[in-house]
Amino acid sequence: MDGQIFEEPNQHFFNYNSPYGACQKCEGFGKVVDIDPRLVFPNPDLSVFQDGVACWRGEKMQNYKKRFIAVSRAIDFPIHRPIKDLTKEQYDVLWNGVPETQGLHDFFKDLEQQAHKIQYRVLLSRYRGRTDCSECMGSRLRKDVQYVKIGGKSIAELVLLPIKELRQFFMKLELNKYEQEVAKRIIEEINQRLAVMENIGLGYLTLNRWSSTLSGGETQRINLTRSLGSNLTNAMYILDEPSIGLHPKDTERLIEVLKELRDLGNTVIIVEHEEDIMRAADYLIDIGPAAGLLGGELVFAGKPSELKNAKNSLTADFLLGRKEIAIPKNRRKIGNLQILCLTNQRKSVVFASLQALAGLF
């Protein structure tokens, strides 16, 4: 017994938006201003022996590298292997060290203890940036959440998995009879929503992905998931141009999801201008004949197969090929492009200036 006390899990325990469930170090943000591995290993193709650890370069800091290399054989650490090819265990040794020698965390603690000297403050600033919290590993949840596991994985590990892998995990999850009774409805909801996200082309995302890093199309599809993944029946869905920002391949997946929603007994009404979605509709309503003040009349209402009988409908004309937007014969010429080229001397001056500026933060 090491005296560690475990809190009893409750509904707030797994919620990073709650002070009870949020990581104490990053307060639920997942990111902190700390030592950034991308700055420590600017070129992960290099090994420790090849000065792949940027902060161990230089005449004075080389001592840390030499001490680490001296015990590398005893601790079975591959000093000639590129940083990017290290196993998780070897990477942890490099950061956390072993009883025989210090790791990078101890190295930076030594620098912080000497931060009263300006040269050490400048050195520390070079390797600080906005990075994943070292305590929760970016999951934003308190550390002891990781001790609660289902199927051998904690929620902190699951939110870091791509949605495609996460769906496979829940599909293969084996539970005992009691657990099945407790989790039956929850597992159904999880599988349904993950299936929708994968079907509309989001299988590569993780649930821990920051919304600010998503493209417009990805954001649009995630918003769709909230509606389409609810698994309701006998409901009416009204969607306004759900295909905006989607790749044509993803539009096909969206159509499949919409049809599944219809087959559950729902009514799906879509305001749309995408050709593939219009062709896949059960019933079309065309308001026209033109836009704005020139429209507002019911031009056509019926099945897509009945469009050939439509009169005064631009939608029918273009879908049936009676009208088309011709490819221009002459395209606009591109003007002269002015490209700024820096000589090696000017490049070094600019780099030195940026490096000095970075040292101020």
What is this structure's pTM?
Answer: 0.62
pLDDT of 327: 85
pLDDT of residue 346: 46
- Reported as a single tens digit per residue, the pLDDT across 135-181 is 787 788 888 888 888 888 888 888 888 999 999 999 888 888 888 88
In this predicted structure, the answer to whether residue 282 has a pLDDT above a threshold of 90 is yes
DSSP states of 175-204 as a string? --HHHHHHHHHHHHHHHHHHHHHHHTT-TT
Question: Does position 360 have pLDDT exceeding 50, yes or no?
Answer: no
pLDDT at 168: 92
pLDDT at 349 over 70: no
- Tell me if residue 270 falls in helix, strand or coil: strand
Task: Tell me whether residue 152 is in a domain.
Answer: no
Tell whether 76 is covered by a domain: yes
User: Is residue 313 situated within a structural domain?
Assistant: yes
Query: Is a pLDDT exceeding 80 seen at residue 51?
Result: yes
Here the tokens at position 153 are 């994985």
The tally of domains found in the chain comes to 2
265 assigned to some structural domain:
yes
84 against 33, higher pLDDT = 84
Q: H/E element holding 280?
A: helix 275-280
Percent of the chain, pLDDT > 70?
A: 91
93, 86 Cβ separation under 8 angstroms: no
Final residue of a domain: which of 77, 94, 126? 126
For position 281, what pLDDT does the model report? 92
pLDDT digits (tens, 9 = 90+) for 284-316: 999 988 888 888 889 999 998 898 888 888 888
Range of the domain at 70: 37-126
What is the CATH classification number for the domain harbouring 246? 3.40.50.300
Q: What band does 280 get if pLDDT is binned at 50, 70 and 90?
A: very high
Residues 6+ apart with CB under 8 A from 298: 285, 286, 287
Instruction: Determine the average pLDDT of the residues in 190-217.
Output: 84
Q: Which of 126, 145, 169 is the last residue of a domain?
A: 126
The pLDDT of residue 337: 53
Within-domain flag for 19: no
Question: Does residue 324 belong to any structural domain of this protein?
Answer: no
Q: Give the confidence band of 269 by pLDDT, cuts at 50, 70, 90.
A: very high
Domain boundary among 66, 96, 126: 126
Position 325 pLDDT exceeds 80: yes
**Is the pLDDT reported for residue 348 higher than 60?**
no
- pLDDT score at 359: 47
Q: What CATH number has the domain bearing residue 119?
A: 1.10.8.280
Nearest 5°: the CA angle 231, 234, 236 is 85
For 219, residues 6+ apart whose C-beta sits below 8 A from its C-beta are 211, 245
Number of separate helices (H) and strands (E) present in the chain: 13, 8
End-to-end CA distance of the chain: 44
- In whole numbers, what is the pLDDT of the chain averaged over residues? 82
CA distance 287 to 298: 5
Tell me the pLDDT tens digit for each residue of 2-12: 667 777 777 77
Q: What is the pLDDT of residues 114-135, one digit of tens each?
A: 888 888 888 888 888 887 887 7
Domain-located, residue 77? yes
Residue 86 forms part of a structural domain: yes
Say if residues 83 and 54 touch (Cβ distance below 8 Å): no
More confident residue, 247 or 255: 255
